Amino acid sequence: MKIKEWIQRAREGFHPTFWVANTLELFERLAFYGAKAVLTVYLAIKVGLGPQVAGSLAGLFSGVIFSLPIVAGTFVDRYGFRKTLVTCFSCFCVGYFLIGFAGLAFGQTIVDAIGKTPYVVTVLLLTAVGGSLIKPCIVGTVAKTSAESVRSLGFSIYYTLVNIGGALGPILALQVRENLGIEYVLVMSSFTSFLLLVGTLLFFKEPEGGGGSAGGRTLGRVFRDMLLVFRNARFITFLVIFSGFWIMFWQIFYSFPFYIIEVLKFPKFELLETVDAWTIILLSVPITALVKKLRPITAMTLGFLIASCSWVLIANSQTISVAIIAMALFAVGEATQAPRFYEYVSALAPPEQVGTFMGFAFLPVAIGSFVAGPLSGWLVQTYLKDSFQPATMWYTLAAIGFGATVLMVLYNIFLVKRPVAG
């Protein structure tokens, strides 16, 4: 397709609200991954909770964000995209600031009076609950403001901007941390969320048919649909196995920063955290083209295997250059499996339950975070603090990845009974 033709299709196929929503998503991801890049280090060192508690709380934070979109979609149905986005950015604005408040000198009296752990748990949950609203809002807006002929392009633009935000967020976080202090990274995310709130109020227009009616799905209906999904043992088994990939992924933000600081002696840990996102941006399209002829289940299993090998690479050579190569290799694994995951989930769902099944697509991300948080705390405490055995930390993580790969193979052999188009 010629560039002029592509631009013409984009101009005609996307409503102006599409571009507003994707701009909001870009900066929201920038704020989220900026905060995420430093969160475990901030909670462990600046707030003083230690790596075990910090890892668990970071896992709780992301786990809640990615487990609630199933329910959060009902608020979009009932109140519309615009009001839900306003609520989301309001919660983010207040929540990020209150997380940073725990590290600010003038906040210590209040935080100590409440107790550091109870205070942090409360503000993390507030931020996460509000943040869970963003996914159904933006994804739903992209779907409703894209013509059918360019809808796949619309989601490609959305996914690219998500990764750009994920790549730029930690870099900006580094600048703020070095010039102002790590606690101000959270303040920066709060200020960004405030600007997003203002931007939503000024520029975001409710998409046609975008919700706000009493005819939307009720919470009762959502829970009934959830019960139907949980009765599908094949699907739930797949989601649980697939969470193994996300247990590995979240270590980039939970345990990898401590390794960079304490083993590699590289203080700019945020830069190495961005390697995955930059690699995804550069290689996702060619990798998708390379594996497009593979069946989805085969591509996903291959992605698991490649990502698992990255941790073996780090374990065998503890240098900055190898860490960068390993993170790029992990991203290759991610790019190999990610596009096929949604294809497989939609094909696995019964025709009358496709929407409900797709709502569960974030569940492995949530399960992975809930497990990865406490796991990272244990790995850092055991193999970096109590005994200095960093290689064992990564071999342990690689074993989890290889175990999940084997389970994917067994799942394919014993539970995949009908062919999935690929």
Alpha-carbon distances, residue 313 vs 146, 216, 328, 382 (angstroms): 42, 49, 11, 20
End-to-end CA gap in the chain: 24
Q: What is the dihedral of CA 358, 130, 252, 308, to 10 degrees?
A: -20
0.85 surpassed by pTM: yes
Please answer whether residues 42 and 185 qualify as being in contact, where contact means their C-beta atoms are separated by less than 8 angstroms: yes
The CATH architecture of the domain made up of 1-216 is Up-down Bundle (1.20)
Amino acid residing at 183: E
Q: Which pLDDT value is given to residue 342?
A: 74
Q: Which pLDDT value is given to residue 215?
A: 54
Q: Which pLDDT value is given to residue 79?
A: 82
Contacts of 66 by beta carbon, 8 Å cutoff, 6+ apart: 132, 135, 362, 363, 365, 366, 369
Every domain of the chain and the residues it spans: 1-216, 218-422
Q: Which pLDDT value is given to residue 149?
A: 75
Q: Look up the CATH number of domain 218-422.
A: 1.20.1250.20
Instruction: Tell me the C-alpha distance between 33 and 368, whole Å.
Output: 17
Domains 1-216 and 218-422 are alike in CATH topology: yes
Length of the chain (residues): 422
**What is the mean pLDDT for each group of 10 consecutive residues in the chain (422 residues)?**
60 84 94 96 96 96 88 76 92 96 94 96 94 83 80 77 92 97 97 97 84 60 77 90 96 97 96 94 86 89 97 96 97 89 75 66 92 96 94 97 97 71 39
Instruction: Tell me the C-alpha distance between 125 and 411, whole Å.
Output: 34
